[in-house]
Amino acid sequence: MLKESCFAHKSVAVLLASDSPATASRLEQGLGDTAMLVRHGLDPAGICACVRDESPDIVLLDFQNEDGDPSGSKAAAAASALQEACPDVPLAAVCCYRQPHSAVAALRAGVREVADLDDAHGLPLLIQRLTDIGGPRRRRSEDKRRSSVLLMGARPGMGVSTLAVHMASLWQERLMRNRSPGVRSGSPAPAAAEDLPLRDRTGILDLGMPVGDCLLYLGLASDFHFVDAVRGIQRLDDTLLRSALAHDGHGVSVLAWPRDVQQISEVSYTDSLRLYERLKEHFGLLLVDVGGFSNPQFVAAMAQSADSALVVADQSVGSLISLAEVLRDLGRNGMTTDRVGLVLNRYDERYGMSASQVEQRFGTPLTATLPDRALQLRSSMNQGMLLHAQARRDPYVRAVERLIDSLAMEPGQDPKAGQGWWKGWRR
């Protein structure tokens, strides 16, 4: 039987990380009916587990010097652990301004909001402000569909970015049809794209090489890039993302690497994965293009977190050899081949190995074959259009639509209700 949260019936849930029952008692009196308060000790691992289990809206960290810890090191360690493991939870420090070193310790630990325990009137206002900024976390998590697809390439030049932009655009049409069920496929959008909330948008995380191909294919440019987003992760919300990201006319949003690839080394592996998790919470669907990106550990970590992971290859000898290496690298980093779907691009049985032979040879499920339509794709994209805008019934477009269908991700549908290998991927 699942445990019911301590906060299940409260509108605002506050978790206090403190070893002092007296502090909890004073805060409870100060909060009154504003929120429900639950206390947990300052053990970093324990407080992170409590946040994951109970989903509080706000966490308060006790930085007061009441236990011989003048530097606030225990609270600082808990703050660091929470910022790493639960970056979306609003944090505030509990201090006494009569002891200014406690507020300084909180600021040094990266906790920017400070509650003065002696200010009985200010505490409810702080709780209200943090709730308005973050929104009730439990409601937010319930609203998220958290659908994500990772697209890898066996080697550069496999057409991953081309596939990503077509999948994103076609998926965006489905999101729009879900808003207006009477709209037929290919019809104009029923609402202005700029007015769409992010939950009704498809996002592309354009992390492939060369840099910015998805932006290019959608006719977009942006000065706001992945490294900027990592640096400002604490401030990322729907408003910032809607204003900072590049969006096409149908509502597809794109975040790419910076043009200066040397900047990539300025952000850590862990922070990059935190940003990935944060973006998944905001979009109706997040497509990640890592075609040509050569960091197996990072790619495998993203693949394990994604709802589905696909590797794109073709029937050439070089591609198939590279496919074996990619699958081997994923396996070394904890990703088994039965959880990776195979997409064969530019497929034609006359080229040699059939799709079923490739599937049997490499032991990874065949998800889709995309026909060789290089001429048609290049022609339409040289005119600044995706292929489905020019030839709705082209075999490539129909194959991409079947690929989306195979992932069983109709808007609002639980992916676990899908067919085939998708059903077994949900963890």
pLDDT of residue 216: 95
The whole-angstrom separation of Cα 343 and Cα 330 is 16
pLDDT of residue 114: 82
Residues of the chain with CATH 3.40.50.300: 147-177+193-408
pLDDT of residue 245: 94
pLDDT of residue 339: 86
Note whether 198 and 241 are within 8 A (CB): yes
Nearest to 301 by CA among 265, 343, 329: 329
Helix, strand, coil percent content, the chain, rounded in steps of 5: 50, 15, 35
Across the 427 residues of the chain, what is the mean pLDDT of every consecutive 10-residue run? 41 84 85 81 87 83 67 82 82 80 80 79 77 51 62 96 97 79 50 72 95 96 94 84 91 95 85 87 92 90 90 96 95 86 95 92 94 95 93 96 79 40 31
pLDDT of residue 5: 44
The CATH homologous superfamily of the domain defined by 12-134: Response regulator (3.40.50.2300)
CATH of segment(s) 147-177+193-408: 3.40.50.300
pLDDT of residue 422: 32
Nearest to 284 by CA among 393, 192, 210, 203: 203
pLDDT of residue 273: 85
pTM of the model: 0.65
